[in-house]
């Protein structure tokens, strides 16, 4: 039996209230309570009953991993977005408990602050395919490009290039149309964070590109331009450091302290962040360029 949770507007706003730091550490790993997505404004869609959704949290790198599955399909196919190596066993336990079949392990970009779990997942679940944007330069089973779709059952994610944090960043957006869950969901990686955005000072990052990946530019059809999505589109980032879980396009258009500025002001902000490099960068980058497997068997010439 599947329990349907209907969000009220108040419940949605409460999701944006910071949690106490202590509760993050002492509670079980963060798992979003709703199993089915309903419209934030209270209207429902029959297609929403197809989608099982979980938001999971890895506290050391403050990384969110997202589980999506089509539970109306006989095989209950599922995918993970931005899995972390340290929480692979937790994720697989949940997938098995829910009776899902993991098909894809996907990354929004080559991460510098943790080792991806895609390689480890492939060793534990035969047939799972790793997915990443071709422009990332990383190894994977399936390379995707802007405009493609990744399907699980009757649900699909649109692949939208959003470079800027790195040269190979992508946002995965749930499908458009009456047969897809509404409101839409955008898994933005580090391109748009809740009330922030990813840094642009390494891995081919570029503040110009990041700004153009977010704001409407008629000549840039090869980028998503996140702020052109419907305002009620739910934004789920790859990280959060302040206890937030979800936002919307409309909220970030109004309240994001960096992305609400004009381009030149934004570039000045980004060039003066003076952030230290991620402490895991020397381990994470080499591993993530080979799908998260650091010790690959030698290949014959």
In whole angstroms, what is the distance from residue 61 CA to residue 113 CA?
Answer: 6
Does 102 map to a domain? yes
Instruction: Give 56: exposed, middle or buried? Use CB within 10 Å, 0-12, 13-18, 19+.
Output: buried
| Contact between 293 and 226 (Cβ < 8 Å) | no
Does 22 map to a domain? no
Distance of CA 4 to the CA centre of its chain: 23
Does 141 map to a domain? yes
| Contact between 38 and 5 (Cβ < 8 Å) | yes
3-state SS class at 18: coil
Cα separations (Å) of 207 from 47, 258, 260?
Answer: 37, 11, 14
Does 25 map to a domain? no
Q: The domain that contains 93 carries what CATH number?
A: 3.60.15.10
Does 42 map to a domain? no
Domains: count for the chain: 1
Would you write out the chain's pLDDT as a tens digit for each of its 301 residues? Answer: 333 344 444 444 444 444 333 333 333 334 443 333 333 333 334 466 899 999 999 999 999 999 999 999 999 999 999 999 999 999 999 999 999 999 999 999 999 989 999 999 999 999 999 999 999 989 999 999 999 999 999 999 999 999 999 999 999 999 999 999 999 999 999 999 999 999 999 888 999 999 999 997 645 556 679 999 999 999 999 999 999 999 999 999 999 999 999 999 999 999 999 999 888 999 999 999 998 874 444 433 3
Does 236 map to a domain? yes
SS (H, E, C) 189-255: ECCCECCECCCCCCCCCCHHHHHHHHCCCCCCCCCCCHHHCCCCCEEEECECCCCCCCEEHHHHHHH
| Contact between 74 and 54 (Cβ < 8 Å) | no
Closest CA to 94 of 134, 63, 67: 67
Assigned token pair, 220? 């840039």
Look at residue 49 in the predicted model and tell me its pLDDT.
Answer: 82
Assigned token pair, 189? 């990686």
Cα separations (Å) of 185 from 1, 2, 174, 237?
Answer: 25, 21, 5, 10
Residues β-bridged to residue 63: 58, 239
Does 173 map to a domain? yes
Does 144 map to a domain? yes
In whole angstroms, what is the distance from residue 192 CA to residue 128 CA?
Answer: 28
Distance of CA 247 to the CA centre of its chain: 13
Q: Which domain covers residue 214, as residue numbers?
A: 51-276
Cα separations (Å) of 283 from 65, 74, 75, 144, 280?
Answer: 20, 40, 36, 25, 6
């Amino acid at each position: 039996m599947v329990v349907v949770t209907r969000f009220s507007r108040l419940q949605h706003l409460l999701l944006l209230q910071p949690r106490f730091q202590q509760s993050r550490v002492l509670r079980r790993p963060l798992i979003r309570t709703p199993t089915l997505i309903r419209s934030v404004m209270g209207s429902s869609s029959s297609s929403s009953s197809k989608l099982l959704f979980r938001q999971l949290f890895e506290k050391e790198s403050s990384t969110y991993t997202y589980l999506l599955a089509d539970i109306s399909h006989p095989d209950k196919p599922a995918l993970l977005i931005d899995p972390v190596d340290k929480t692979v066993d937790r994720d697989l336990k949940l997938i098995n408990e829910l009776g899902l079949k993991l098909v894809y392990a996907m990354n929004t970009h080559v991460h510098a602050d943790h080792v991806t779990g895609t390689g480890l997942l492939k060793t534990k679940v035969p047939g799972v395919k790793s997915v990443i944007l071709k422009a990332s330069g990383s190894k994977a089973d399936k390379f995707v490009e802007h405009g493609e779709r990744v399907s699980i059952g009757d649900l699909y994610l649109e692949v939208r290039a959003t470079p800027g944090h790195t040269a190979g960043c992508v946002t995965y957006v749930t499908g458009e149309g009456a047969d897809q869950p509404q409101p839409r969901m955008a898994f933005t990686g580090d391109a748009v964070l809740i009330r922030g955005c990813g840094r642009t000072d390494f891995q081919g990052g570029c503040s110009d590109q990041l700004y153009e990946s977010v704001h409407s530019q008629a000549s840039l059809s090869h980028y998503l331009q996140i702020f052109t999505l419907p305002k009620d589109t739910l934004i789920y980032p790859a990280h959060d450091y302040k206890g937030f879980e979800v936002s919307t396009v409309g909220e970030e258009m109004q309240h994001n302290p960096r992305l609400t500025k004009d381009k030149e002001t934004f570039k000045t902000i980004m060039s003066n962040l003076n952030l230290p490099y991620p402490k895991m960068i020397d381990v994470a980058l080499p591993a993530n360029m080979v799908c998260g497997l650091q010790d690959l068997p030698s290949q014959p010439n």
